[in-house]
Chains A and B, each alone.
Chain A
Amino acid sequence: MIDINESVMQFLLAFIVVAPLIGAVAALLPAPPGLKGKSPEQAVLRHGVIVTGVVLIAAVALTLGFDHDHPSRMQATTDISWIPALDVRIHLGTDGISLPLLVLTALLTFLCALYSYFKMPAGPTPKAFVALVLVLESGTLATFAVLDLLLFFLAFETVLIPMYFLIARWGGEQRTRAAWKFILYTLLGSVVMLLGLLLIGIKAGTFDIVALATDNHPELTTSVQVIAVLAIGIGLAVKTPMWPLHSWLPDAHTAAPTVGSVLLAGVLLKMGTYGFVRILLPVTPDGMSTFAPYLAAFAVVGIIYGSLACLALARQGAKGDLKRLIAYSSVGHMGFVLLGIASMTPTGVNGALFANIAHGLITGLLFFLVGALKDRTGTTDLDTLAQETGAALYGRAPRLGGLLAFAAVASLGLPGLAGFWGEMLALFGAFDPADGLSRPAFLTFMTIAAFGTLLTAAYMLVVVRRVCMGATSQQESPKLADVRTYEFAAWTPLVVLTVVAGLWPKALLGLTDPAVQQLLSGGTR
């Protein structure tokens, strides 16, 4: 949009990856004089807001400087040798596929930091909290920015320790078990993934993702590709999460603090699907088309399973936890993303990338809202909240209730909001899958997935009915505090972007589509 010097662009991209790390170290040091603030706690939380804010500004500047006419070209690339022995290069770059994810990550982390500044989750010192959130941000941004298989793995692993501590230290009930489950599942998956990455790298003689995607590598025979896709796919599928490897997610979400849930759903899950698009689709197309039908089948089961689990949780008397419900709904939404990827068509992959962003915005908002609800009522248990008739949020806190209803209908895929396009495109992709994939099978998957959208609508509406509606009696249910200013500040960007992405999908698809076309055709950049 605006012309920014290439070396400034390089600096910006490197900056958004490194700055949070430096910020994390700085957060552990005592505040310098002049920046002490009212108390050490306040100073360090403010430090978090400033660092994530600067990173967000850098990410926005990067977007502005990005050449929107050629989104399929790798831009702002840095390529320096780091470990020649392993052929690891610090190769950074961004294109239309990774740029939206970079901005989403920077935005959500900033909003989380802002939210925590006013509403610090209960737990040990905020110093460590800020440092961990910043390390988490750096790891996630690095995952989306690096173009080297081993660096990708390094970035993928970097998020584990901070997220583990965020859940285990600032979480709610059952947090220790949930945190263990999270880290052991993900690590088991990612170690297997490492084997697959090494197999590709050693056979092809390079770990560079761009080189792997564009050059012809006859060494990567179909059998090598099949093994590699199986190994890497398991690692990515655990992270995504794909049914039946999802069982860590509901526990982690239920136990995590609000900010942890937002980041987990909003950006961490995207690392899995991003890996599918960035590595598996272009580098190992043969292996991918072998597994695509299975991936699609698992994805569809995930959609139905997630929706049914949510319906069961939303029932009266089921003692359903709202956070757990949203976690299961994530399993369903990520199912759509995986279905789009499995179709291996530009339409499907574009849909998957769109659904990725939409899910990050909407589910991030939902977790914020549920967190706010928990702060006000002290519970996320649907039965306790709703009691006999319903929690009547419309009456007790109209703005909060309205926002919750908005997020719920966005999540169920109402046309005109962000949730719609991604899922529709993913279904379109499945309607006409790539050559070599069985069309009848994919048609079946599409039909079942479409049925899943109905189920999604059903449980979301049940939730809205039970939480937002209901009879208010002035004596029994005291009025709840409505949306506060800082909450407004943290949530408005998400609401606005949800609407914008729903009404103007071209803004996003214009970025992703050329890049995806090129990715699938394996052309040069």
Chain B
Amino acid sequence: MSPQAQSLVQAQHESLSQVQHESLSQVQVQAQSLVQSVDWLAIAPPTIAAVVALVVLVADLFVGDKKKALLGWVSVAGLAVAALALLPLLDGDRSTFCLTGDADVCSYTADRFTLVIQFLVLGGALLAALLSMTALKDADRELPEGEFWFLLLSSAAGAALLPASRDLATLIVALEVASLPAFALVGIKHGDRKSSEAALKFFLSSVTATAVSLMGISFVYASTGTLYLTEIATRIEDVDSQLHTLAQAGVVLTLVGFAFKTAAVPFHFWVPDTYVGAPLPVAAYLSVVGKAVGFSGLILVTVIALPSYADVWGPALAALAALTMTVGNVGALRQRTTRAYSAVRLLAWSSVGQAGYLLVPIAAAAYSEDAEKAIGSTVAYALMYAAVNLGAFAVAALVARTKPLNRISDYRGLYASRPLAALVLGFFLLCLAGLPPGIIGLFAKVTVFSAAVDAGLGWLAVVMAVNVVIALFYYLQWTTLLFRAPEGEPESHRVPAPLTVAIALTAVLGVALSGAPQLILRFSDTGLF
């Protein structure tokens, strides 16, 4: 393990244990009680992921070089079990780590919103893990396997904790638990300058954002005297008028950290280089789980904690959304197809553009009477995006096995050599563009549009409409390339099983959702909290 990675892992250890301690100690101090009942079932999903992370790290020491692949399967199984642990929670909302004095004020809540985002995070991590198995095998022990799985699982544990957090301290801790291992994952390629550079870039900008966020939280804490989101919501309404500016500044600064995670403009510049420098599965992981962390944090802070400050964050998020989608899509449009790694670069820029669409309903929540419905549109869109974007990355990973430079021009004539992979990638890209046959992509965009129109944000809807057309251009350009006549002899390789599973899983999801969009669109119709 490199010294850098080692120190990060150490930091990771500490923060993991902090998760429990922080929440516990807060509660204990306030409640003056030493005994607290913990609802283990409610916290099972992130806990299982964390425990399996430690198991894998320890097991790495005892497993021989030849059997390292076992670690991968254990991790995949662990993530699957963590995702299955969501099932018993479906029957109703559960809360734990509550104040013993006031049982309504809790640090951890497993409501519908939490469960959906946890499902998204764990499912996304599972697919990324499947991609990683092939990547690790192909790397031929260039990548440290035990550390890799440990980092991936810890990050997933943090990301799964985040949507359940209902106080600002837990929220920030979860954000850091999700991020710190990600830095190490980005820089995990030994001796690769690009990889280390990407990690450093990612790390420095992310830490700055977190610091700003922490300052914002301290401002909010100073003006309200509590860290619990629901408490903040009530107390911030009658803040002393002298502290009003402080509270407002606190609101804006808090959002910065989460906007960074979502890769919203102007906090997006790290994305393309980081995605290119990182191993491909890690880029896929960041593009989905990283974003989920960002926008679920944004939702919690804005809609739950600060609904009364909607006039501050509403316009800010609307402007952010418009900027993000425009810059992201224009950036993707400018990618030359023959440049090295242009496929990943394009996916990186397009993910910035997609983040813009994700922000639209959150901004609309500020203006709409039914904020939860608007939030549901973001959740529905994110689920669609997660499935098809991971699918696109999976096919990219498949192509990268034979064409390591991963240029978009390398996809020319993919249909001739791998008809199924080409059809599936074309489907994913059209889903991202939102055109039939990608019906689910179309309707996910329709929910986002309708959230904006419903909230009276007509101008944002028009900006988004223009962006959809820009995005279509590059997605379709890539799609047509797939069906061109190939340049050379098509070479065929056997596709490794995990990769096949990942592609098949995402494709089945995409097709099933296209037939029955209600499966995910129902979140845009009902209250999530």
* A195 pairs with B462, CB closer than 8 A: yes
Is A18 an interface residue when CB atoms closer than 8 A count as contact? no
**Which of chain B's residues has its CB closest to A188's CB?**
B469
State the CA gap A158–B469 with chains docked (Å).
Answer: 15
Quick check: which of B210-218, B254-262, B402-410, B431-439 contacts chain A, the rest being far away? B431-439
Chain A residues closer than 8 Å to B522, beta-carbon distance? 84-85
- Interface centre among A88, A153, A195, A202, by most B CB within 10 Å? A195
Proximity bits, A382-408, B CB within 8 Å = 1, else 0: 000000000000000000000000000
Chain A proximity of B357: nearest CB distance (Å): 13
| Selected contact of B430 from candidates A124, A150, A161, A184, CB within 8 Å | A161
Whether B436 contacts A85 by the Cβ 8 Å rule is no
Tell me the A119-160 residues at the B interface (CB within 8 Å): 124, 128, 135, 139, 150, 153-154, 157-158, 160
Chain A residues with CB below 8 A from B453, complex form: 195, 198-199, 202
CB–CB A82/B518 < 8 A: yes
In the complex, whether A520 has a CB less than 8 A from a CB of chain B is no
Main secondary structure on chain A at its contact with chain B?
Answer: helix
The B interface is mostly helix, strand or loop, or mixed, namely helix
Cβ A194 vs Cβ B472 within 8 A: no
Chain A residues whose CB sits within 8 angstroms of the CB of B476 once the complex forms: 164, 183
**Contact (Cβ within 8 A) B521 A202:** no
Question: How far is A161 from B517 in the complex, measured between Cα atoms in Å?
Answer: 21
Bound together, the chains give a CA A150 to CA B458 distance in angstroms of 18
Bound CA span A464–B449, Å: 51
Binds A, one of B97-105, B143-151, B199-207, B440-448: B440-448
Indicate if the CB atoms of A85 and B518 lie closer than 8 Å: yes
Check if A157 sits within 8 Å of B435, measured CB to CB: yes
Once the chains bind, are A150 and B446 in contact (CB under 8 Å)?
A: yes
**With A and B bound together, what is the CA distance between A500 and B483 in angstroms?**
44
Chain A residues, CB < 8 A from B524 = 85-86
Inter-subunit contact B442/A157 (CB<8 Å): yes
Which of B442, B447, B473, B517 is the one whose CB lies under 8 Å from A184? B473
If A85-B524, A85-B525 touch, whether A198 touches B435 (CB-CB below 8 Å) is no
Please state if A191 and B446 are interface contacts (CB–CB under 8 Å): no
Decide if B525 touches A158 in the complex (CB within 8 Å). no
Across chains A and B, the number of contacting residue pairs, with CB separation under 8 Å, is: 92
A107 CB to closest chain B CB (Å) equals 24
**Set of chain B residues within 8 Å of A164, measured between Cβ atoms:** 476
Q: Complex Cα distance A82/B525, Å?
A: 14
- Residue numbers in B under 8 Å from A198 (CB-CB): 446, 449-450, 453, 461
**Any B CB within 8 A of the CB of A187:** yes
Any A CB within 8 A of the CB of B2: no
A128-B483, A195-B465, A198-B446 given; A83·B435 CB < 8 A: no
* Cβ of A192 under 8 Å from chain B: yes
Q: Which residue of chain B has the shortest Cβ distance to A193 in the bound complex?
A: B465
Question: Which A192-211 residues have a C-beta within 8 angstroms of B?
Answer: 192, 194-195, 198-199, 201-202
Q: Count A-side interface residues using an 8 Å CB cutoff.
A: 34
Does residue A168 face the partner (Cβ distance < 8 Å to B)? Answer: yes
Would you call A83 and B473 a contact (CB within 8 A)?
A: no
Chain B positions within 8 Å of A161 at CB level: 430, 435-437
**Closest Cβ–Cβ distance, residue A183 to chain B (whole Å):** 7
**Shortest distance between the CB of A24 and any CB in chain B (Å):** 10
Minimum CB–CB distance for A423 against chain B, Å: 34
Is the CB of B468 closer than 8 A to any CB of chain A?
yes
Structural contact, B454 and A191, CB atoms closer than 8 A: no
Residues in A whose Cβ lies below 8 Å from that of B380: 85
Q: Which residues of B (502-522) have their CB < 8 Å from a CB of A? A: 517-518, 521-522
Name the one of B447, B450, B472, B485 contacting A183, with C-beta atoms under 8 angstroms: B472
Q: Which of B430, B469, B480 contacts A187 (CB 8 A)?
A: B469
Question: What 1/0 flags go to B122-142 for Cβ under 8 Å of A?
Answer: 000000000000000000000
* Chain A 368-386 interface 0/1 with B at a Cβ cutoff of 8 Å (1 = within): 0000000000000000000
Bound together, the chains give a CA A180 to CA B517 distance in angstroms of 29
Query: Considering residues A139, A192, A198, A201, which has the most beta carbons from chain B within 10 angstroms of its beta carbon?
Result: A198
Contact B436 A195, beta carbon cutoff 8 Å: no
Which residues of the partner chain B approach A168 to less than 8 Å between Cβ atoms? 480
Q: Is the CB of B465 within 8 A of A154?
A: no
CB <8 Å contact, A154 and B518: no
List residues of chain B with CB under 8 Å of any chain A CB. Answer: 380, 430, 435-437, 439, 442-443, 446-447, 449-450, 453-454, 458, 461-462, 465-466, 468-469, 472-473, 476, 480, 483, 485, 517-518, 521-525
Q: Which 5 A-B pairs have the closest CB atoms?
A: A85-B525, A85-B521, A191-B465, A158-B436, A198-B453
30 A-B pairs with C-beta separation under 8 A:
A83-B443, A84-B518, A85-B522, A85-B524, A86-B443, A86-B517, A86-B521, A86-B524, A135-B437, A139-B436, A150-B443, A150-B446, A153-B446, A154-B436, A157-B436, A158-B437, A160-B436, A161-B436, A165-B483, A168-B480, A184-B469, A187-B469, A188-B465, A195-B449, A195-B453, A195-B461, A195-B462, A198-B453, A199-B453, A202-B453
Contacts A161-B436, A198-B453 known; 13 new A-B pairs at CB < 8 A: A83-B517, A85-B522, A86-B517, A86-B524, A124-B483, A139-B436, A164-B476, A165-B483, A188-B469, A191-B468, A191-B469, A195-B458, A199-B453
